[in-house]
Structure 1
Amino acid sequence: MTVKKNRKRLALLSHGRPPTVNATSKRLSSTATRNLIRSHHRLLKAREKAVNDCDDDLVKSIEARIKENGGLESYQLASKAGQSLERGGDSSRVLVDWMSSTLSQLKRSSFKLRVLEVGALSTQNACSRNRIMDVTKIDLHSQESGILQQDFMERPMPTTDDERFHLISLSLVLNYVPTAAGRGDMLKRCGAFLTKTLLPGCPLSNFTPCLFLVLPTACINNSRYLTEKQLQEVMASIGFNLLKSKETSKLIYQLWEFNNHGQNNHKRYSKALLNPGAARNNFAVVIND
């Protein structure tokens, strides 16, 4: 009975993340940052496997190790360090740059684009400082007063367009979801929170809502179960088309436009071996009915 509950809870982001402890204020080097993040993800994957194997003792043991390593707060500390200016800056600068044409059309008006930033770590990033973006920030463990502590998978479904957004940001969030099916569920859920409806008098024309997605490069370029082509097919099946893409040695930035309003014709995508290799990772996205 306990195992069944654990499996069900993994569908929620909060139950895929570990307990938290006080984070150290010590400055992290770039090497320490990478090691902490990688170790954290390895432990999460080991916990997922232990849950699927119904090994409750191993689950508890892994959770204890996660806690010893600092839990979610230490992971967030490492993520913040990775987004510091001396290490490349925050990813939302790419989103603001990509949306510059749309934002310039709104510059002389009072209209703003509603943005939902999932997994927000700061209230001082590029989106937050842009006066034409009205940003709602949520995270599992809020570190600032301007960030709502909330699990996106538990956020109440919108019932009106006023409760929806023109942009959603998932920057280094999807790779944190512990299961392939959970990642597919998160992407499908994003569609329900997007709207192309603008207020009367808005100077924008032909506006399409978008999803900003940032993933570690290895999730796509070094996975056994996901390729760039496969990701585009998966996203197309749930109404998203790739608009822009940028790749660095560490990250892949993508902007997806959403055109599937009012439809529910999702194609199933299971976990299939595409790129065999001992050195590859198991990152995948599964779309169920």
Structure 2
Amino acid sequence: MTAVRKKKKTVKSLAYGRPPTVQRPKSISRKATKALINEHHLLEKRRAQAAAKGDITAVAAADAEIAALGGLETYQQASLQGQRNDRGGDSSRVLMDWLKPVLSTLGSSAAAVTAAAEAAKATESLRMLEVGALSTNNECSRSNLFDVSRIDLNSQSQGILQQDFMKRPLPVDDTERFDIISLSLVLNFVPDAEGRGQMLFRTLEFLKLPVKDTSSRLRELLPSLFMVLPAPCVTNSRYMDEANLEAIMNALGYTKVRSKTTHKLVYYLWTRESPTPEHIPIFKKAEVRSGRSRNNFSIVLRGASG
């Protein structure tokens, strides 16, 4: 009889965390990687739904299926495999490509980044919060442009604080706020639609307020939220499309200034244009596309009044 691998503790928020970076897994094919990740996501969703209903039997059944797939370790290896450079790699490269044109008006891209970094040091460090950080050596970190704070639910690397963004202490002043927050493949790990809305609303607590009167071109796209999602969350969801996502972000005071869509991912840069709105409308889970092949990704905002 094959021994059942001992299950690891699951994380109740943000859908069980992110993959570690201390080991490089054995290479598996793109098709196998995608199938394994999708199966884990389905099982984790089924488990979360059963737990919400208090169905202990269904929770145990989902746990058994997850264990049969190899448990969290196998899932983490598949997720990390997708981060390799030959599989799409570092999403922060897209962010830096967007920032480079406003970093300097002269020189090559590398020179522009260097000049901007020197200018930032001469004035003040630009602070970046990377939620769900996988590495301390991505392009944003190597640019020397940012003072980066990195957090992850399952950190296994020095330089990444093990912390839940939803439980991170709120800033007391601007010295604890950030110029940019990165949510790269994080929002889709939140297990429910309302939790995703709460996460987006909470980003406003951690971002600095916009500064209109500034001579620094570096500030033209800041403060901002960098967001990366699996493309089907927007392109093939029953409850979410581009217009719906933009309406939600606009209601929070964000404006879309950059976007990019590939076969697998959608990238956005949302600039904060105003203080936290006094009145935020309610966004419910409502069908925007029909069809059996659609996924159920959605974001719900409960609304707020000041």
For normalisation by structure 1, the TM-score amounts to: 0.87
Of the candidates 243, 246, 253, which is equivalent to residue 232 of structure 1? 246
Opposite residue 172 of structure 1, the aligned amino acid is L
Q: Does 1:30 align with 2:30?
A: yes
Task: For residue 213 of structure 1, report the CA deviation from its aligned partner.
Answer: 0.6
Task: For residue 252 of structure 1, report the CA deviation from its aligned partner.
Answer: 0.5
Percent identity for Structure 1 against Structure 2: 46
Q: Does 1:164 align with 2:177?
A: yes
* Match of residue 135 from structure 2: 122
Task: For residue 122 of structure 1, report the CA deviation from its aligned partner.
Answer: 1.1
Opposite residue 17 of structure 1, the aligned amino acid is Y
Q: Is the alpha carbon distance of 1:50 and 1:155 closer, same or farther for their aligned partners in structure 2, counting shifts above 3 Å?
A: same
Task: For residue 180 of structure 1, report the CA deviation from its aligned partner.
Answer: 0.4
Q: Is the alpha carbon distance of 1:20 and 1:67 closer, same or farther for their aligned partners in structure 2, counting shifts above 3 Å?
A: farther
Task: For residue 276 of structure 1, report the CA deviation from its aligned partner.
Answer: 1.1
1:109-145 deviation digits (Å, cap 9, x = unpaired): 2133211111111111111111111111111101211
* Match of residue 188 from structure 2: 175
Q: Is the alpha carbon distance of 1:120 and 1:70 closer, same or farther for their aligned partners in structure 2, counting shifts above 3 Å?
A: farther
Q: Is the alpha carbon distance of 1:23 and 1:97 closer, same or farther for their aligned partners in structure 2, counting shifts above 3 Å?
A: closer
Q: Does 1:108 align with 2:108?
A: no
For normalisation by structure 2, the TM-score amounts to: 0.82
Of the candidates 254, 266, 269, which is equivalent to residue 280 of structure 2? 266
Q: Answer whether contact 1:18 1:71 (CA < 8 A) is retained.
A: no
Task: For residue 190 of structure 1, report the CA deviation from its aligned partner.
Answer: 0.7
- For 2:30 and 2:19, locate their aligned partners in 1 and report how far apart those are by CA, in whole Å: 22
Matched residue SS, 1:190: helix
Structure of higher CA gyration radius: 2
**For structure 1, which segment, 122-131 or 23-32, has the greater mean C-alpha deviation from structure 2 after superposition?**
23-32
Q: Answer whether contact 2:133 2:150 (CA < 8 A) is retained.
A: yes
**For structure 1, which segment, 46-55 or 71-80, has the greater mean C-alpha deviation from structure 2 after superposition?**
71-80
Task: For residue 146 of structure 1, report the CA deviation from its aligned partner.
Answer: 1.2
* Match of residue 268 from structure 2: 254
* Match of residue 46 from structure 2: 46
* Match of residue 139 from structure 1: 152
RMSD across aligned positions (CA): 2.6
* Match of residue 256 from structure 2: 242
- For 2:67 and 2:287, locate their aligned partners in 1 and report how far apart those are by CA, in whole Å: 33
Opposite residue 189 of structure 1, the aligned amino acid is R
Q: Is the alpha carbon distance of 1:114 and 1:74 closer, same or farther for their aligned partners in structure 2, counting shifts above 3 Å?
A: farther
Q: How many residues align?
A: 276
Q: Answer whether contact 2:152 2:162 (CA < 8 A) is retained.
A: yes
Matched residue SS, 2:280: coil
Structure 2, unaligned runs of 5 or more: 1-10, 105-114
Structure 1, unaligned runs of 5 or more: 1-8
Q: Is the alpha carbon distance of 1:18 and 1:240 closer, same or farther for their aligned partners in structure 2, counting shifts above 3 Å?
A: closer
Q: Does 1:193 align with 2:203?
A: no
Task: For residue 181 of structure 1, report the CA deviation from its aligned partner.
Answer: 0.3
Q: Is the alpha carbon distance of 1:94 and 1:280 closer, same or farther for their aligned partners in structure 2, counting shifts above 3 Å?
A: same
- For 2:40 and 2:215, locate their aligned partners in 1 and report how far apart those are by CA, in whole Å: 45
Matched residue SS, 1:192: helix
Q: Is the alpha carbon distance of 1:20 and 1:33 closer, same or farther for their aligned partners in structure 2, counting shifts above 3 Å?
A: closer
Opposite residue 114 of structure 1, the aligned amino acid is R
* Match of residue 110 from structure 2: none
1:207-239 deviation digits (Å, cap 9, x = unpaired): 631001111110011111011101101111111
Opposite residue 300 of structure 2, the aligned amino acid is V
Alignment of 1:6-21 (within 5 A): 12-13=13-14, 16-17=15-16
Q: Does 1:155 align with 2:165?
A: no
Q: Answer whether contact 1:20 1:67 (CA < 8 A) is retained.
A: no
Q: Is the alpha carbon distance of 1:80 and 1:210 closer, same or farther for their aligned partners in structure 2, counting shifts above 3 Å?
A: same
Q: Does 1:276 align with 2:275?
A: no
Q: Answer whether contact 2:19 2:80 (CA < 8 A) is retained.
A: no
Q: Answer whether contact 2:90 2:139 (CA < 8 A) is retained.
A: yes
Alignment of 1:201-240 (within 5 A): 203=216, 204=218, 208-240=222-254
Q: Is the alpha carbon distance of 1:27 and 1:184 closer, same or farther for their aligned partners in structure 2, counting shifts above 3 Å?
A: same
* Match of residue 288 from structure 1: 302
Matched residue SS, 1:106: helix
